[in-house]
Structure 1
Amino acid sequence: MNTFTGTASLVRFDLRRDRIKLPLWVIGISALAAYFVAALQLAYPVAEDLRGVAGFADNPAGVMMSGPGYGMDDPTLEAFVANQYGLYLLVAAAFMNILLVVRHTRGEEENGRTELVLAGAVGRRAPLTAALATAVVANAALVVAGSAAMTAAGADAGGAVLFTAGFAALGLFFAALTALVCQVCEHGRTATGLAAAALGTAFVVRGVGDVLERHGSAVSWLSPVAWSQQTRAFVDP
């Protein structure tokens, strides 16, 4: 037996336990992304209306709370969604991964289930590896469901895939960070709080960096949130 023995079985077990929670997260984020596309088509059917609204977002407060402003000079519907609402979808994807990893690592240890699992033919690194593999599955599902939903709502298919891939990339970053935090925290609530604090810090650093210089500065790149936004989905992929 090696340290990863039983990982595949634990992945199946984790997915079965989350057969309701994970689909709700994935469907919820995907539906919200599609809703933004569909709702804006109804709210701003004329390009002039969209340009007028985009002008209000092109100020320090708007940049801090939304994004670096790619495509806001002459916005398309998709670019407006990516810049104005993408940040909130990114945060939701990050939280999905934080809660998932805490639930399947530190949470399992707190309730004693990990000790029972490790007493069987399971390697020492299998539980953590299975939790991260489950996160990979969840984020892959988010890309597929999210891009399909946005495309069905009228968004460009290629841009939708890149846009939702940004969710998955940020989600996997915070899955990995949370896995590390769970190794040094005694309680699940502490691990969740520290990971959420890291997400909040990334949010603020991204905002400050984008305010310092139009379309982002060197400070922006210190935040993983900015990495996803810098893909410039629907504008300059």
Structure 2
Amino acid sequence: MTTATSAPEVPAPAGPAAGGNALAGTRTLIRFALRRDRIRLPVWILALFLGTLATANSFTTLYSSPEDRANAVRSMDSPAGLAMSGPRHYLDDYGFGSMLSHQMLGFMAVLVGLMSVLIITRHTRAEEETGRAELVRSTVVGRHAHLAAALSVAVLADLTLALLLAFGLAGLGTEGIDTAGSLLYGFAHAAVGLVFAAVAAVTVQFTAHTRGASGMALAVIGLAYVLRAAGDSGANDALSWLSPIGWVQRSYPYVDDRWWPLLLCLVFAVVCAAAGFVLSTRRDVGAGLRPEKLGSPTASDALATPLGLALRLHRGTLIGFGAGLFLMGAMYGSILGDAEEMLKGIDEIQEALARLGGAGIAESFASMVMVVLAVVAAVYVVMAALRPRSEETAGRAEPLLATGLSRTRWVGGHLAVALGGGTVVLLLAGLGFGIAGAASTGDGSLLPKLVGAALAYAPALWVTVGVAVVLFGWFPRASQAAWIVPVYAFVVGYLGQILRFPGWMNNLSPFGHVPRLPAADMNWLPLLLLSLTATGLVWLGLTGFRRRDLETK
């Protein structure tokens, strides 16, 4: 007896194979991205929102009288002051609203741009670099779904921030901060965020590496800020019109309330996003449009060592932060000569400067600025100290440690770059600050003073590295908590001086124990204790890493 059998019917392929839907699965990827960023995005948005509200509230105290605001106009009406803030037109009627837009909009545009860039690179290029995108796209997911989902998440984040700012500022009830201006102010943030998100949608197509894509997009943000600063501080206003940051600043919230400059941002964002989609069709998944350079068939002697490999991996970030901090220091140094005029009549800042040691205005102001430069350097050392965690989760650490390379030597290479590189970027920040500060004040002795003041923060950076290593070694899933150190240092060390936070809050930060040079006298004991603390934390973190299991793929 024979039995006839028939093969089961194979379902027709769905998704792209059936209908060629390049956006199939976008909604699912949006939900997935929002779940992955359920902590990251709220922290970003709330930090930007609360920081703006705190600044707006502080203006009513710092510039409470018309005389104070008149002094602020005189201090800002200089090329250096306008380069640090925005167009001069805001100074024509310098109320609390125009003051907020003038001093904060350009600075916030950089931060919103940074948030948007990181959203795009995290959910596109990082997914391809780790191989997850190829796995996901082997299912019913269209070619453009990842980029569309990332842009959608960036749009949601920017619009959420815009609405929070609009209603939050309007609800303050501050004179000069009305509802119409607050709506424009909020949506100006969304507009510039969309521009830089779209720029990142293009940069992720060129390189196969997340850091390279982020670096190119951040370079565009830096160029936009420099063009804006050059146009606002000089006679050639046309330079500012080449910058998206200049566009949103020229919407003049609380002054003229012009909406049409935001349309320039929208058009530019649409063009860049469309270009990103088109370019994505001209490359393979995981590859970039820019061809990889052929390397040497044999590694150099330096590259064959843990330190040499780590330096090669970190060199782009190190160069970028070094150049950025040098320029940032130079920008602050250029206004050091006008510090006394800028801060004259602002009692709260005068009192904060007096508490730093009673030195001259230039030295006291420099010591406050030095906190900001040190915190930016701390951002670099956290990124560098957490690079071993990225290598581990990406599966690149396992083949290295499967050889004769020990865990301590492997992590030690990255830590050496973090510790030494952090000191180098501090040195560059001090050099930029000192050179420009000495030129603006005519006091050549400021150069060695400011370089020394910058280097005094090196032990605090080393403690920051130690905290990151402890988290990486013992609690790898909580490694991102290391970012609390620089954020807390900025809030307490810089804003706390003006808002008079309790002294014990400053003592919780390693940066709070550094002598506030050049205003205060040098004290070596805190620096020695910080160095010993950093040594102990690094040893503790390495001990934990040697004892725990490696995350494998």
Distance 1:32 1:69 in 2: 24
Q: 2:246 aligns with which of 223, 226, 236?
A: 226
Does 2:155 align with 1:133? Answer: no
Cα distance, 1:151 vs structure 2: 1.9
Runs of 4 or more consecutive aligned structure 1 residues displaced over 3 Å after TM superposition? none
Distance 1:51 1:73 in 2: 10
List runs of 5+ in structure 2 lacking aligned partners: 1-14, 16-20, 258-553
Cα distance, 1:69 vs structure 2: 2.3
Post-superposition CA distance 1:13-66 (Å, at most 9, x none): 111111111111111111111111111111221122112112101110011111
Distance 1:141 1:85 in 2: 19
Distance 1:74 1:40 in 2: 15
Distance 1:196 1:73 in 2: 33
Q: In the alignment, what sits opposite 1:79? A: 98
Q: In the alignment, what sits opposite 2:39? A: 20
Distance 2:24 2:199 in 1: 23
Distance 1:13 1:70 in 2: 45
Q: In the alignment, what sits opposite 2:230? A: 208
How do residues 96-107 of structure 1 correspond to structure 2 at under 5 angstroms?
96-107=115-126
Q: 1:191 aligns with which of 202, 213, 220?
A: 213
Q: 1:36 aligns with which of 55, 69, 83?
A: 55
Q: Answer 1 or 2: higher relative contact order, Cα 8 Å, separation at least 6.
A: 1
Cα distance, 1:131 vs structure 2: 0.4
Cα distance, 1:73 vs structure 2: 2.7
Does 2:168 align with 1:146? Answer: no
Q: 2:186 aligns with which of 147, 150, 164?
A: 164
Distance 1:33 1:202 in 2: 21
Q: TM-score, normalised by structure 2?
A: 0.42
Larger of the two Rg values belongs to structure: 2
Does 2:142 align with 1:120? Answer: no
Q: In the alignment, what sits opposite 1:45? A: 64
Partner secondary structure for residue 27 of structure 1: helix
Partner secondary structure for residue 205 of structure 2: helix
CA contact 2:93–2:255 (8 Å) conserved in 1: no
Distance 1:147 1:86 in 2: 13
CA contact 2:90–2:99 (8 Å) conserved in 1: yes
Letter matched to residue 138 of structure 2: A
Distance 1:152 1:169 in 2: 22
Post-superposition CA distance 1:52-89 (Å, at most 9, x none): 11210111001111100233133111101110122111
Count of aligned pairs: 235
Distance 2:37 2:170 in 1: 27
Q: TM-score, normalised by structure 1?
A: 0.96
Letter matched to residue 230 of structure 1: R
